[in-house]
Amino acid sequence: MFNPLPTLLSATQNQAKPMAEQDEFIRVGTTLYKIVDQPLIDGGCVKKRIAWNSETLRQDYGKDRMATVPKYDGFCTVPDHVGYKPVVGKFLNLYEPIGHRPQEGSFPCIRSLVEHIFGEQYELGMDYMQLLYLYPIQKLPILLLVSEERNTGKSTFLNFLKAIFQDNVTFNTNEDFRSQFNSDWAGKLLIMVDEVLLNRREDSERLKNLSTTLSYKVEAKGKDRNEIGFFAKFVLCSNNEHLPVIIDAGETRYWVRKIERLQCDDTDFLQKLKDEIPAFLYHLQHRTLATKKESRMWFSPKQIETEALRKIIRSNRNRLEIEMADLLLDIMAKMEMETVSFCLHDIIPLLLCSQVKAEKLQVRKVVQECWKLSPAPNGLTYTTYVYGGEGRYQPRKGVGRYYTVTKGLLESL
């Protein structure tokens, strides 16, 4: 009886042989990898390193193939977009090259997008883009785009950044920041979250620390932790204009922009942006920065301060702080004064008259940590105020290490 299986196998092997000769392998340290093109849902591919077995390599390609495999001592991550090096010394660079070739030309769509996102801070926004491209290890502020409206272009801006920097950009979820495993995003240039909601104190602290740290420990499942240089920047988007993240008063690491609704909807806009990227990169290479380095995050806090940032800071203030500020401002208004002095035990009965219960420890935290006030160095005589009924206050002398708060400070809150 005729068996077609050997014939089919032979034909398949003959067809696969030319493909097999093109297969790429590398050895990093003592581990063998096969370089493959993994198909994506949009029809494209992304390069992946898959751990391979040396015995399988010999079985498939013969014993002589191992001698031709490139060998490296280990991995490194050295970001560069203009003078990219795939190999640094004897180490394989994990940072990916970007495929764009700068070419002189116009970029009206990109210009309109940057103007829409950064508004009156357009030149600062162009500096931000230029620093990302030419100086990828420079620390930059956490860019937070907020708007309660839909169709504002926030997601388009994220996809535009992804199109420029390609495999060096990753989209995270809120849960990714809380996971102990971070090997998939720790070596990226940009870490972006489309719908951020990090309203826990530990989330906010971790994000702030990551934005300024110089090194970070990478951890993957089943592998030892490894410390690397950390240069990632964060771009966050949210539909919550009040509490997307916890931002305290005096915080200088956030650049918050409120994004307005788009006037028109062009379904081909992202493709137009991609077509203009070579001209945009050429412009960034030859453009002069509009700002000088003012801080570790390049921009000074005053340069990137916005009303959207102040709105989030106000929303993050706790209820006790707001009640205390309102109370003291009311005293100043009715007594026609610019300052008020008080000890902590003076505030508690005044708050009770407003139906607000507070402990001395909570009041001290607001005064010392939120308002940054210091008590008088010694117990001295001061004038404070007690509630006299019917919305009136009466002066009273006291002795103690009192605090003094100004009307200007409370109004700025």
CATH number of the domain that 269 lies in? Answer: 3.40.50.300
Inter-residue contact 191 to 172 (CB < 8 Å): yes
Per-residue pLDDT at 394 = 84
Q: Band of the pLDDT at 187, cuts 50, 70, 90?
A: confident
Report the alpha-carbon distance of residue 104 to residue 204 in Å, rounded. 41
Which of 264, 295, 315 is the endpoint of a domain? 315
Judgement on whether residues 213 and 201 belong to the same structural domain of the protein: yes
Say yes or no to pLDDT of 60 above 90: no
Judgement on whether residues 329 and 374 belong to the same structural domain of the protein: yes
Which of 280, 315, 350 is the endpoint of a domain? 315
Query: Taking residues 95-111, what's their average pLDDT?
Result: 93
Judgement on whether residues 138 and 281 belong to the same structural domain of the protein: yes
Residues 6+ apart with CB under 8 A from 158: 171, 192, 194, 235, 237
Say yes or no to pLDDT of 217 above 70: no
Judgement on whether residues 254 and 276 belong to the same structural domain of the protein: yes
Per-residue pLDDT at 225 = 65
Inter-residue contact 15 to 8 (CB < 8 Å): no
Query: Tokens representing 311?
Result: 């709105």
Per-residue pLDDT at 344 = 86
Tally DSSP H helices, then E strands, for the chain: 14, 18
Judgement on whether residues 379 and 290 belong to the same structural domain of the protein: no
Say yes or no to pLDDT of 182 above 70: no
Per-residue pLDDT at 385 = 84
Q: What is the DSSP letter of 3?
A: -
pLDDT > 90: percent of the chain: 33
Per-residue pLDDT at 126 = 96
Judgement on whether residues 188 and 287 belong to the same structural domain of the protein: yes
The pairing of strands 215-218 and 226-229 is: antiparallel
| Residue 180: exposure state from Cβ atoms within 10 A (0-12, 13-18, ≥19) | exposed
Query: Tokens representing 86?
Result: 């795939």
Query: Taking residues 227-253, what's their average pLDDT?
Result: 84
Per-residue pLDDT at 352 = 83
Per-residue pLDDT at 10 = 40
Say yes or no to pLDDT of 8 above 70: no
On average, the pLDDT of the chain sits at 83
Say yes or no to pLDDT of 215 above 90: no
Say yes or no to pLDDT of 7 above 80: no
Query: Taking residues 54-71, what's their average pLDDT?
Result: 87
Angle at 233 between CA 272 and CA 264, to 5 degrees: 30
243 part of a folded domain? yes
Say yes or no to pLDDT of 316 above 80: no
| Burial 15-31, CB ≥16 within 10 A → b, else e | eeeeeeeeeebbbbeee
Which of 315, 348, 372 is the endpoint of a domain? 315
Per-residue pLDDT at 183 = 64
Q: Band of the pLDDT at 323, cuts 50, 70, 90?
A: confident
Question: Which of 172-176, 202-206, 272-276 has the highest mean predicted lDDT (pLDDT)?
Answer: 272-276
Report the alpha-carbon distance of residue 306 to residue 257 in Å, rounded. 7
| Residue 219: exposure state from Cβ atoms within 10 A (0-12, 13-18, ≥19) | middle
| Structural domain range at position 55 | 19-93
Say yes or no to pLDDT of 12 above 60: no
More confident residue, 267 or 89: 89
Per-residue pLDDT at 222 = 56
Say yes or no to pLDDT of 17 above 50: no
Number of domains in the chain: 3
Per-residue pLDDT at 240 = 85
| β-sheet bridge partners, residue 32 | 27, 52
Report the alpha-carbon distance of residue 299 to residue 312 in Å, rounded. 20
3 part of a folded domain? no
Report the alpha-carbon distance of residue 345 to residue 142 in Å, rounded. 40
262 part of a folded domain? yes
102 part of a folded domain? no
Say yes or no to pLDDT of 198 above 90: no
Query: Tokens representing 270?
Result: 């992202």
Query: Tokens representing 202?
Result: 């530990």
Residues 6+ apart with CB under 8 A from 313: 247, 248, 249, 251
Query: Taking residues 349-359, what's their average pLDDT?
Result: 81
Per-residue pLDDT at 220 = 58
Query: What 3-state DSSP class applies to 184?
Result: coil
